[in-house]
Amino acid sequence: MTKTSPVGSLTEPKRLPEIFMNHKVKYLATANISYPVDFMNKILRAKQTNGPSYIQISTPCVPAWGIESAQMIRIAKKAVTTGYDILYEFIEDEVILSNLSRPYLDKLKRDPLIEYLKPQKRFSQIIDNPQALTELDEKIDKHWERLSIIR
């Protein structure tokens, strides 16, 4: 992304983990750099899996997100505590919620989404737009529902 890049799209992104789940990958996980032990455990499980594995790692991009490098870990953690990022594994056709995301099944336990969005310049177009914030919040809720997480 450059300073002349167009404003990002508010349309629903294609989620690679869900595409891989539809193709019955043997092991899939989502991870976040702010939780290194969880990340390492998922790498070990992927290594022990016979067959294809995929781990999607959420990590802030300082220039593209318009943040300071000192904010990286805090913002990465906020992605999880707001429910924006969901940490889970997909093993043998079952979605298993990681313990780090489990509390946020209850939306009332999530931090306000604005705490994740506000420090990032990439979201400047929607920070002061209540309708856009509501739509993004609804998309996050639908993502949780789509995963049909029950554990």
Its pTM stands at 0.85
Distance from the Cα of residue 146 to its chain's centroid = 14
The token pair at 13 is 């992104």
- 147 vs 43 pLDDT, higher one: 43
Confidence of residue 113 (pLDDT cuts 50, 70, 90): very high
- What span, in angstroms and rounded, lies between the C-alpha atoms of 123 and 121? 5
* Strand pairing report for 53-58 and 27-32: parallel
C-alpha pair distances (Å), 58 with each of 5, 21, 51: 22, 18, 23
CB-CB contact of 103 with 109 (8 Å): yes
- How confident is the model at residue 140, as a pLDDT? 93
pLDDT tens for 17-31 read 888 888 888 999 999
The stretch 67-75 carries a mean pLDDT of 95
The stretch 70-90 carries a mean pLDDT of 96
